[in-house]
Amino acid sequence: MWKIIVSLFLIDQGTKAIAKKKIENKGKKKLGPFDFLYVKNKGAVMGFLKKYPNLLKTLHIFTLLLVLYMWHKEVKMILLKSMSYAFVLGGGLGNLYDRFKRGYVIDFFSLPIKKLPYFNMADIFILWGILGLLIF
């Protein structure tokens, strides 16, 4: 599972590097059903806690450690549940890395639905992982 976590982290960081290179300072672009815009998100979802970066980093680390603990606590677990934990951890590490390296998370695409925030691959991995955990 560690290879999956590292792979997800690398996919997330790679897509953020591409977004930085291709769309930073270029305004909103539309490609198919997606809107692309380089966003420096200093908070959590929709900027939540952006005025408290140290608290946000602490909560992020605590949450990842809690997920890691829960993952290792469940010795006998079906593969898909284990993969769900890996997705949460891989995505969470991608966003945590951004918070420490840049002081913000790079978000860069969205669907043109009213009030839907911009997000990144890490956010998608976390969402898939949480959905998997809810199912299993």
Residues 2-11: pLDDT tens digits? Answer: 999 999 999 9
pLDDT for residue 95 = 96
Tell me the residue range of the domain where 55 lies: 2-135
In angstroms, the CA 10 to CA 15 distance is 8
Per-residue pLDDT band for 135 (boundaries 50, 70, 90) equals: confident
C-beta of residue 16 within 8 angstroms of C-beta of residue 108: yes
Judge whether 12 counts as a catalytic residue: no
What domain count does the chain have?
1
Per-residue pLDDT band for 115 (boundaries 50, 70, 90) equals: confident
Closest CA to 100 of 67, 47, 53: 53
- Identify the active-site residue in 12, 35, 98, 123: 123
Mean pLDDT of all residues in 43-52: 83
Residues 60-109: pLDDT tens digits? Answer: 999 999 999 988 887 667 888 899 999 999 999 999 999 999 999 999 99
Judge whether 123 counts as a catalytic residue: yes
Adjacency order of strands within the sheet including 105-110: 29-31, 34-41, 105-110
Q: Count other Cβ atoms within 10 Å, centred on residue 56.
A: 19
What is the average pLDDT score of the chain? 91
Show the CA angle centred on residue 122, arms to residues 103 and 48, nearest 5°: 50
In angstroms, the CA 136 to CA 118 distance is 28
In angstroms, the CA 66 to CA 105 distance is 21
C-beta of residue 85 within 8 angstroms of C-beta of residue 75: no
pLDDT for residue 75 = 61
Per-residue pLDDT band for 114 (boundaries 50, 70, 90) equals: confident
- Identify the active-site residue in 12, 35, 98, 107: 107
Closest CA to 95 of 59, 131, 69: 59
